[in-house]
Amino acid sequence: MPETLGTDRTSPVRIAPSILSADLLRLGEEIEDISTADFIHVDVMDGVWVPHLTFGPDVIMASRRASSLPVDCHLMVEDPAPIALQAAEAGARYVSFHIEACPLAHRLAQELRAKGAHPAIALNPATPVSALEEIAQYVDMVVVMGVEPGFSGQAFIPRTVGKVRELAELRDARALDFLIEVDGGVSLENAGALAEAGTDVFVAGSFVFGASDRAAAIASLRAAAEAGY
Ligand code: DX5
Ligand code: ZN
């Protein structure tokens, strides 16, 4: 299907529900249920870099067939380069890989761009924003983890808000235009503060898929974030 950026194009807030929290036996219906979001967040975990084993490029392809929403693919794997390129070939719009797992980040960003995907770099809670100084200008999105990668449903680490603010300052100081995404523990309690600090994209797994009315959950998260800008 042709891609859009969700139905609410006037909102500066982008919501990316993580299908890690979806009912996987009903994935098609679950994806239909989030049509008012802006991205489908696909968490690729290899059972090595993080303990959990999840999806691969086939699920990205299936998601692309099922929905016009672009796929935001988040790689939590020991060796991100080969799988990142497969994710791009499978049609992911953004492909994020962790700076902690990728010493050749500049090369991978270029290779992803050559495949038509937007390169994105992710930061674990223990990694300072300064780790991105030399790569920030080569990526289109930075993912600030609000939890340790590996599982949905974990408690948000409050320091994440300060890291987003530091990153937004770096973006302004260097006149860069990457999106700032926060992933992990996002909810109505922190969306306003995250937006105020500079977050553009809000990943939400358990908050969206744990709700019986997903459209209402997406709308409430969007409103909470908009109130913070
Ligand atoms: C965690 C994943 C997240 C997770 C978010 O490693 O990267 O995308 O699904 O889930 P919640 O929103 O429940 O923390
Ligand atoms: Zn994720």
Question: Which tokens hold the place of 197?
Answer: 């600090």
* 61-89 pLDDT per residue, tens: 999 999 999 999 999 999 999 999 999 99
Is the Cβ atom of 186 under 6 angstroms away from ligand 1? yes
Is the Cβ atom of 41 under 6 angstroms away from ligand 1? yes
- Average pLDDT over the chain reads 96
Nearest-atom index, ligand 1, CA of 150: 6
The span from the CA of 179 to the CA of 24, in Å, is 29
15's CB contacts (< 8 A; 6+ apart) are: 6, 37, 38, 39, 201, 202, 204, 208, 218, 221, 222
Residue spans of the domains in the chain: they are: 14-226
Q: Which residue owns the Cα nearest ligand 1 atom 7?
A: 149
Looking at the CA of 205, name the nearest ligand. Answer: 1
Catalytic (active-site) positions = 43, 183
- What pLDDT, on the 0 to 100 scale, is given for residue 5? 65
Is the Cβ atom of 184 under 6 angstroms away from ligand 1? yes
Give per-residue burial for 31-65: e unless 16+ CB within 10 Å, then b: bebbebbbbbbbbbbbeebbeeebbbbebbbbbbe
* 156-206 pLDDT per residue, tens: 999 999 999 999 999 999 999 999 999 999 999 999 999 999 999 999 999
Cβ-based neighbour number of residue 203 at 10 Å? 28
Q: Which fold has domain 14-226?
A: TIM Barrel (3.20.20)
Helices marked H in 25-104 — which ranges?
A: 27-32, 57-66, 80-89
Is the Cβ atom of 21 under 6 angstroms away from ligand 1? yes
* 106-139 pLDDT per residue, tens: 999 999 999 999 999 999 999 999 999 999 999 9
Question: Which tokens hold the place of 216?
Answer: 């209402």
* Helix pair angle (105-114, 80-89), 10° resolution: 20
Question: Which tokens hold the place of 39?
Answer: 């991205």
Q: Does the predicted model carry a pTM greater than 0.75?
A: yes
Q: Is the pLDDT of residue 8 over 80?
A: no
